[in-house]
């Protein structure tokens, strides 16, 4: 039995408790300052209101003030916060964690400082106390994993990535169940870039649903699968360029973190719901305020986080803008409320 602390009681943070609890581990689910109502409901009736699933009896819920208590004897920490909360998570955990306790990030995203792109595990590390930050081993989970499916014990396949293969093997054994299937990879850059960018490209694929509603089905109720497939393929093409730019392996693109995760994210969820609204002709700020004011749209958050850096790198000639027409367009759509119009003639250009 391993003592595991999960910080963040959102849908995926809670869903990951299911395989861990099924394995008999001591799981402590700590809510953020935004999760108080969720933790209260789990405490009272073992039910997660957003996940709409019963929480395993082996899972102990804690409010944020109980983080220190939950961390006593912890052998593994899991980050279940969203991409905007990664700095906050480091600030909260720094004073109460031991440097020999490894961390697994569920959080997907990238950061930009105007000049460079950064992986979120690196951002988390930088936020830890200086006297032990370099001792902490950080891994991450990537791949197609819908929270409600995992919480219902549907077969789910993911990749666990980190730099220490021995540690990855130990972590994988902790998580594996007959329905939660795990592969390991030391290609941290490739996995993290793929699982971050898929959120933004799924906005583009999701916009096709709105375009179809706005324009109406064609003759004989023909839909727009051709269009969605082209956007999907261009997204994979551009992710490959950025993975290579950041020093990752193309093998991650053609596996679970790349095409696998982009496929499942394009099928539904908050990114595709927002994409539909954009395809209907709404501008991003209008759609967010009117229809999804309380929801985290990870694809849009990524655009805001890396958009200025991407544009600067293109201007400096460090990135070839001709290789990223869809990314640049999606940044314009999200960050500057541009309409959904795609530069088709610029797609699939060899650079």
Active-site position among 3, 60, 198, 214? 198
> Contact, 81 vs 16, CB < 8 A?
no
For tokens 């830890």, name the residue. 128
* Percent of the chain whose predicted confidence (pLDDT) is above 90: 88
* pLDDT at site 96: 96
Its sign, for the CA torsion 37, 38, 39, 45, is: positive
Backbone angles phi, psi at 17, to 5 degrees: -70, -25
CA distances from 333 to 73, 145, 179, 183, 318 (A): 47, 27, 38, 36, 23
Q: Copy the structure tokens of residue 175.
A: 């998580």
The DSSP result for 296-311, as a single string, is --HHHHHHHHHHHHHH
Q: What is the pLDDT of residues 3-14, one digit of tens each?
A: 999 999 999 999
Domains in the chain, CATH or no CATH each = 3-186 (3.40.50.720), 189-346 (1.10.1040.10)
Q: What is the pLDDT of residues 253-296, one digit of tens each?
A: 999 999 999 999 999 889 999 999 999 999 999 999 999 998 88
Using the predicted structure, report yes or no on whether residue 50 has a pLDDT greater than 90: no
> Contact, 194 vs 185, CB < 8 A?
no
Contacts 24+ apart (CB under 8 A), 330-333: 330/200, 330/201, 330/203, 330/204, 330/299, 330/303, 331/303, 331/307, 333/203, 333/278, 333/284
Q: How many C-beta neighbours within 10 Å does residue 101 have?
A: 18
Q: Can 198 be counted among the known catalytic residues?
A: yes
* pTM of the full structure: 0.93
Residues 6+ apart with CB under 8 A from 48: 9, 11, 14, 38, 41, 42, 54, 55, 151
Q: What is the pLDDT of residues 205-246, one digit of tens each?
A: 999 999 988 887 665 666 778 999 999 999 999 999 999 999
Backbone angles phi, psi at 78, to 5 degrees: -120, 130
């Amino acid at each position: 039995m391993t003592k595991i602390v999960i910080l963040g009681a959102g849908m995926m943070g809670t869903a990951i408790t299911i395989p861990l609890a099924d394995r008999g581990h001591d799981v402590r689910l700590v809510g953020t300052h935004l999760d108080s109502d969720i933790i209260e409901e789990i405490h009272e009736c073992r039910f997660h209101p957003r996940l709409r699933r019963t929480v395993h009896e082996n899972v102990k819920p804690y409010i944020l003030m109980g983080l220190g208590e939950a961390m006593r004897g912890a052998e593994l920490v899991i980050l279940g916060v969203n991409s905007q909360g990664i700095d906050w998570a480091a600030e909260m955990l720094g004073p109460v964690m031991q440097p020999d306790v490894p961390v697994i990030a569920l959080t997907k995203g990238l950061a930009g400082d105007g000049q460079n792109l950064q992986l979120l595990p690196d951002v988390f590390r930088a936020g830890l106390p200086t006297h032990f930050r370099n001792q902490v081993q950080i891994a991450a989970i990537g791949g197609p994993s819908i929270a409600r499916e995992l919480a219902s014990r549907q077969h789910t396949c993911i990749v666990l990535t980190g730099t220490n293969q021995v540690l990855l093997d130990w972590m994988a054994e902790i998580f594996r169940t007959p329905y939660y299937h795990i592969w390991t990879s030391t290609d941290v850059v490739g996995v993290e870039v793929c699982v971050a960018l898929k959120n933004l490209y799924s906005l583009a694929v999701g916009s096709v649903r709105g375009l179809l509603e706005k324009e109406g089905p064609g003759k004989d109720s023909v839909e727009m699968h051709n269009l969605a497939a082209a956007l999907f393929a261009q997204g994979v093409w551009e992710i490959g360029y950025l993975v290579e730019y950041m020093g990752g392996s193309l093998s991650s693109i053609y596996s679970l973190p790349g095409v696998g995760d982009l496929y499942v994210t394009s099928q539904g969820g908050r990114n595709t719901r927002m994409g539909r609204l954009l395809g209907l002709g709404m501008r991003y700020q209008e759609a967010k305020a009117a229809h999804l004011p309380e929801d985290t749209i990870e694809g849009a958050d990524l655009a805001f986080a890396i958009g200025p850096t991407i544009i600067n790198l293109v201007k400096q000639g460090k990135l070839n803008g001709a290789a990223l027409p869809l990314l640049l367009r999606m940044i314009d759509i999200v960050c500057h409320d541009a309409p959904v119009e795609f530069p088709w003639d610029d797609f699939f250009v060899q650079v």
